[in-house]
Amino acid sequence: MNNLEDLRGKTAIVTGAGQGMGRAVTAALAARGASIVVNDIDASAAQRTTSELAAGGAEAIAIAGSVAVQDDVQRLVNQSLERFESIDILVNNAGVLRPTPVPSISEAEWDLVVDVNLKGTFLCSQAVLPSMRQRGWGRIVNFSSTAGKNVSTVGGAHYTAAKAGILGFTRHLAKEVAADGITVNAVCPGLIDTEMVRATIDDERVRAYEASFPIPRLGRPDEVAELVAFLVSDRAAYITGASLDINGGDLMI
Residues with catalytic roles: 159
Angle at 176 between CA 173 and CA 177, to 5 degrees: 90
Contact by Cβ (8 Å): 167, 148: yes
Contact by Cβ (8 Å): 172, 127: no
Question: Residue 238 gets which letter from DSSP?
Answer: T
Contact by Cβ (8 Å): 11, 76: no
Contact by Cβ (8 Å): 247, 146: yes
How many other C-beta atoms lie within 10 A of the C-beta of residue 84?
A: 19
> Alpha helix locations (H) across 147-243?
157-177, 195-200, 203-212, 221-231
